[in-house]
């Protein structure tokens, strides 16, 4: 999760073109955004590209952000939108990339069996189910932020979450 930032202070600075404020904004939020992009795209390389493109778009359109405090939800909504555009146009999006190759993890940061199983099951779910589980169950964002990312009411977030959890659990428990 991103560190606490004073959004009302940093966003106006970034809008004015303050380079160190922009760098700080990226460095503090990039982990959360990258994790989101990774779980969404199922591929580390693509996640890096999506993260980069998301910042590029967000910083170019930052004047459209109505509420500075909603920056993270807005950023992830952009990331999701770019991902959806990407999978529509890129043929290789249908390629299944082996998890070890996608993650490129070595040594002590290698995944546990439980984590690998969970990731494999997550990969099989639809983008809609995967996104809601990533946001709420992995990244622990609020219903409000998830509602912003997915552009759906909070009530719909809750009902979709329940269905996505059920689908995940059925598959996960079936493999463990």
Residue (56 or 151) nearer to another protein, CB: 56
**The two three-digit tokens of residue 27, written as one number:** 């460095």
| CA separation, residue 22 to residues 56, 96, 150, 161 (Å) | 11, 35, 25, 34
What lies within 8 Å, CB to CB, of 46 at 6+ separation is: 37, 86
Residue 162 C-beta-side C-alpha neighbours within 13 Å: 5
Q: Report d(CA 21, CA 10) in Å as an integer.
A: 6
- Shortest distance, position 23 Cβ to another protein, whole Å: 5
Residue (112 or 126) nearer to another protein, CB: 112
Residue (12 or 155) nearer to another protein, CB: 155
Question: Which residues here bind another protein, judged by CB under 8 A?
Answer: 19, 22-23, 26-27, 30-31, 34-35, 38-39, 44-53, 55-56, 59-60, 82, 86, 89-92, 103, 109, 111-112, 114-115, 117-119, 121-122, 133, 136-140, 142-143, 161, 165, 168-169, 172, 176
- Shortest distance, position 24 Cβ to another protein, whole Å: 9
């Amino acid at each position: 999760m991103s560190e606490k930032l004073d959004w009302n202070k940093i966003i106006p600075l970034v809008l004015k073109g303050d380079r160190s404020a922009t760098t700080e904004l990226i460095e503090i939020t990039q982990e959360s955004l990258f994790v989101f992009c990774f779980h969404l795209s199922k591929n580390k390389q693509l996640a890096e590209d999506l993260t980069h493109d998301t910042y590029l778009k967000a910083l170019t359109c930052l004047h459209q952000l109505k509420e500075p405090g909603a920056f993270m939800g807005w950023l992830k909504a952009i990331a999701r939108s770019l991902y959806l555009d990407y999978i529509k146009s890129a043929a290789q999006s249908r390629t299944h990339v082996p998890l070890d190759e996608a993650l490129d993890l070595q040594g002590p940061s290698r995944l546990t069996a439980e984590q690998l199983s969970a990731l494999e099951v997550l990969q099989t779910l639809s983008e809609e189910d995967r996104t809601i589980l990533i946001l709420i169950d992995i990244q622990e964002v609020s219903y409000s932020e998830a509602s912003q990312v997915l552009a759906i009411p909070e009530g719909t977030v809750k009902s979709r979450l329940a269905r996505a959890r059920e689908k995940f659990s059925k598959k996960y428990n079936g493999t463990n």
